[in-house]
Each structure stands twice: as C-alpha cells, then as structure tokens.
Amino acid sequence: MIIDGKKEAEILRNEIKREISQIKKKINKAPSLHVILVGNFAPSEIYVRNKIKKSKEVGINSKIIRYPKDVKEEEVLNKIDELNKDNEVSGILVQLPLPKQINKEKIIKLINPLKDVDGFHPSNVGNLASGYSSMIPCTPFGCLLLIKKVEKNLSGKHAVIIGRSNLNGKPMAQLLLKENCTVTIVHSKTKNIKDECLKAEILVVAAGIPNLVKEDWVKTNSIIIDVGINKLENRIVGDVEFEKIKEKVKAITPVPGGVGPMTIACLLKNTLKCFKARLT
C-alpha cells in the first residue's frame, strides 16, 4: 500500500475548513497565523508561500512578516513580543533557518507556548515528553496520523526512528511512546543501523540522506514513513529506496506526496487548536 499523503492532507484540511466556517458563523471570528520570514532563502520562500496559501484556503487569516537577511535580532524579538500580546493573533511561526546574527534558541523561547504552532517551545517539548497536553511539532504529528491510517492500535509495536533532531526524530519518539510502542532512535553515530532497522514494524526515516534505507534493511509487513526531502538534479527524493521497498512492505509514504502535505495540514490543525484555546 502506498500511503497517499496528498489525499489524507486534503481530508484533514476539509475537516479544519468546516470547523472554522462553523465557528465563524457563530462568533464571526477566525484563527490567524503570523509567519516571520527573515531573508530570501529559496526553500523557505516556497515553504512559507505554501503555508500561507493552504491556511487561507481553510479560512485562516494569515500574514507574512518579512525582514531582510541582516535584520537585528532585537527587531525580530520585539515583533514576537508584540504578536504575543496581540489577542487577535492565534499562531506565531518563525521560519527556520535563521541568519547567524539571530539566536534561534532566544526566538523559540520567546514565542508564547500557547501560540507556538510549531511546538518547538521548551514548555511544549516538556509537556509532550511528560505525556501532557501540548502543541505537537507538525511533521511528526503528520507522520503519526499517516501511521494510524494504516494501523489504529500501535500498542506493543517496535518502532525505529532514524534521526534525532528536535524537529523530527525526538518528538516522533515521544508520540510513538505515547502510543505504547517500543521505540529505538538511531542516528549518525549508531553502530549497525541495518540490524536495528530490521527489528522495525514501524520505521520513520528523517536523516536527509537519499537512498539511505535499502531493501534489505526493512521487514515485510512493516510501515515505512519517509520524512526526507532531498534534491537530486531535477527531482526530489526521500531517504528510502522507494521503488524497491514498496513491493516488500505493508505500507510506505512516497516523496513527494507523503509526509510533506501532512506537515502543512498539521500546521493548520495546530493554528486552529491555538485559536480555540483562546476562546475558552
């Protein structure tokens, strides 16, 4: 089975759109998402454009706040402070990466955790790790929703995650632990990665290395989630040997058209969650 991330994301966006339209009818208010974009790094421009387009389609009022590459850190911090205090702002997203003069940690820590649609604030990270209610980082959130489309009950499954970034690997591990999986994280310093992968009933790959996972690294009947986005000459590929592996496993996400669309749909879901939390 090839997991159709495009279709699943569309279903999720339609649910979000319906809910926003119902709320709007009742109280004449809609969520708002404010995206801070520093510089003109081409991939960031594309990601932000997509996020804004998709958020508008579901009825989220979205806005890009642009700064030149050499903007002072203080100016961005002041803007975040202003957005934190503004009751009309539901969600704040600072597109990464940031230029050298801006301290990413300071930026992430200043965003109000209740408006932290990326789920990167230490308070959200801690809540997720403790199994409490939190904002969930969009990519692992999307991965979990896709896994659950294939298998509803993940209890007792052996999940292996390749990559330990704050963005993907670590929150993915927390989410799968919460689902009662047995979780192994492997990374660039792990010995015998293949042996670890061969134990996986669920394998989530987020390393950013094209064709890292080979056909003989995966079990039949496993679920493979490929987070990687790698540009090769004129095409985009993931981190797994998709063509060879797709015949062998129970389910696999393609790249493109797998995790990517779900990431944006989960950003919209998070923005709606932040908005609703402020209504109560």
Q: What mask, x for binding ligand NAD by CB under 6 A, covers residues 238 to 277?
A: ---------------------xx--x--------------
Candidate segments 7-15, 72-80, 113-121, 227-235, binder of ligand NAD by CB under 6 A: 227-235
CB of 237 to ligand NAD, least distance (A): 10
Catalytic (active site) residue 79: no
The closest of 28, 31, 39, 113 to 76, measured between CA atoms, is 39
Least Å from the CB of residue 24 to ligand NAD: 28
Let me know if 174 is a catalytic residue.
no
Positions in 12-41 near ligand NAD (CB under 6 A): none
Task: Assess 193 for contact with ligand NAD (CB under 6 A).
Answer: yes
140 near ligand NAD (CB under 6 A)? no
As a whole number of Å, the CA-based R_g of the chain is: 19
| Cα atoms in the Cβ-side hemisphere of radius 13 Å centred on 111 | 29
DSSP letter at 99?
-
Of 49-57, 123-131, 165-173, 195-203: span binding ligand NAD (CB under 6 A): 165-173
Catalytic status, residue 95: yes
Is 138 within 8 Å of 112 (Cβ atoms)?
A: no
Q: What are the percentages of helix, strand and coil residues in the chain, rounded to 5?
A: 45, 15, 40
Q: Which of 148, 116, 122 is nearest to 135 (CA)?
A: 116
Q: Which of 84, 112, 123, 230 binds ligand NAD (CB under 6 A)?
A: 230
Q: Does residue 169 bind ligand NAD (CB under 6 A)?
A: yes
Angle at the Cα of 243 (from 154 to 247), degrees rounded to 5? 55
How far apart are the C-alpha atoms of 164 and 140, rounded to whole Å?
Answer: 12
E strands, 57-210, where? Answer: 61-67, 91-94, 158-162, 182-186, 202-205
Q: Does 207 bind ligand NAD (CB under 6 A)?
A: yes
Kindly tell me which of 71 and 95 has the beta carbon lying closer to ligand NAD: 95
Residues at the contact surface with ligand NAD, assessed by CB under 6 A: 139, 162-165, 167-169, 186-188, 193, 206-209, 212, 227-230, 259-260, 263
- Residues taking part in catalysis: 51, 95, 118
